[in-house]
Amino acid sequence: MRVAIFASGNGSNFEVLAQAFQAKKIAGNLVLLFCDHPDAYVIERAKKYKIKTVSFTVKECGGKGLYEKKIAQLLEQENIDFIALAGYMRVIGPLILSKYEGKIVNIHPAYLPEYPGLHSIERALADGKQKTGVTIHYIDSGVDSGPIIAQEHVAILADDTLETLEQRVHACEHRMYPRVLAQILEKR
Ligand code: GAR
């Protein structure tokens, strides 16, 4: 099983997954990081784990259609069987979806279907909710809307700031993602 991770930014989820693959806690090989932001910190993390990284932007490709096509070519060249999104902030287009149906998972920092899209942690805090959560799901053509695989709640405390709540949500993600991805890939 040849696995690719797609990420856009900091890459803390990428790093816990890379560690779990290297420690053989997840079946399969993490062989590729694709990143749509050439300056993202996740690229530095990938160097540390010696994971091949490819990065290009939609703009460089001349639009969304050509961008998707270039990613599809890359996935074919690298013989990728499965994709884990880890803070990848774009919707996967129809070309890649058709080739990887049921083979792309995403992690989202909310208890879906609550708070899909951007700024999910901030919005849950601003709404005065007592809990939010983390969801891992297969992706479909919508925004954070595919079939749910696993979910956990994260409490929102009375004195939480965005920073403290983000830390708690991320800690939950870092515990969940390696465990859930291991379960998914074990069965394949
Ligand atoms: C994570 O909280 C992830 O759930 C979220 O981006 C963050 C990336 O952090 N993803 C989404 O919001 C996707 N809709 P990281 O770069 O440190 O892993």
- Of the candidates 80, 76, 23, 22, which has an alpha carbon nearest to the alpha carbon of residue 50? 22
Which atom of ligand 1 lies closest to the CA of 166?
Answer: 2
Q: What is the C-alpha R_g of the chain?
A: 16
Average pLDDT over residues 72-101: 97
- Of the candidates 65, 19, 68, which has an alpha carbon nearest to the alpha carbon of residue 45? 19
Is CATH 3.10.450.50 correct for 2-186?
A: no
Which atom of ligand 1 lies closest to the CA of 121?
Answer: 2
Known catalytic residues are: 108
Are the C-beta atoms of residues 155 and 134 closer than 8 Å to each other? no
Segment 131-161, tens digit of pLDDT: 999 999 999 999 999 999 999 999 999 999 9
Average pLDDT over residues 170-176: 98
What are the boundaries of each domain within the chain? 2-186
Query: Which residue carries 């994260």 as its tokens?
Result: 154
Q: How far apart, in whole angstroms, are the C-alpha atoms of residue 148 and residue 135? A: 7
Ligand 1 midpoint to CA 9 (Å): 8
Task: Report the 10 Å Cβ neighbour count for 150.
Answer: 17
Ligand 1 midpoint to CA 69 (Å): 24
Segment 27-71, tens digit of pLDDT: 999 999 999 999 999 999 999 999 999 999 999 999 999 999 999
Ligand 1 midpoint to CA 110 (Å): 10
- Lining ligand 1 with CB less than 6 A are 7, 9-14, 86-87, 107-109, 144, 170, 173
Return the pLDDT at 75.
98
CA 37 to centroid of chain Cα atoms: 14
Looking at the whole model, is its pTM more than 0.85?
yes
